[in-house]
Amino acid sequence: MNARDIQKYGDELFEAMRSRTTVVPLTAREPSITISDAYHISKHTWLRREVLGERLIGKKIGVTSLAVQSALGVFQPDFGYLSDTMLCDWSAVPIGSRLIQPRAEGEIAFRLGKTLKGPGITEADVLSATAYVTPCFEIVDSRIHDWQIKICDTIADNASSGLFVLGEAKADPRAVDFVNCKMRVEKNGRPLSEGVGAAALGSPVKCVAWLANTLGELGVELVAGEIILSGSLVPLEAVRPGDKMSLTIDGVGDCSISFC
Judge contact between 185 and 194, C-beta under 8 A: yes
Q: What is residue 30's DSSP assignment?
A: -
**pLDDT value at position 76?**
74
Mind listing the pLDDT tens digit for each residue in 13-45?
Answer: 999 999 999 999 999 999 999 999 999 999 999
- Strands, DSSP E only, in the chain? 56-62, 78-83, 103-112, 130-140, 163-166, 182-187, 190-196, 227-232, 237-238, 244-249, 253-258
Backbone angles phi and psi of 179, in degrees to 5:
-80, -45
Length of the chain counted residue by residue: 260
Q: Is the pTM of this model over 0.75?
A: yes
> What rounded mean pLDDT belongs to the chain?
94
Domains along the sequence of the chain with CATH = 55-258 (3.90.850.10)
In this structure, which amino acid lies at residue 85? T
Q: How many CB atoms lie within 10 A of CB 223?
A: 15
Mind listing the pLDDT tens digit for each residue in 218-248?
Answer: 888 999 999 999 999 999 999 999 999 999 9
Question: Given a cut of 90, is residue 72 above it in pLDDT?
Answer: no
Q: Whole-angstrom Cα distance, residue 23 to residue 13?
A: 8
Give residue 65's pLDDT band: very low, low, confident or very high (50, 70, 90): low
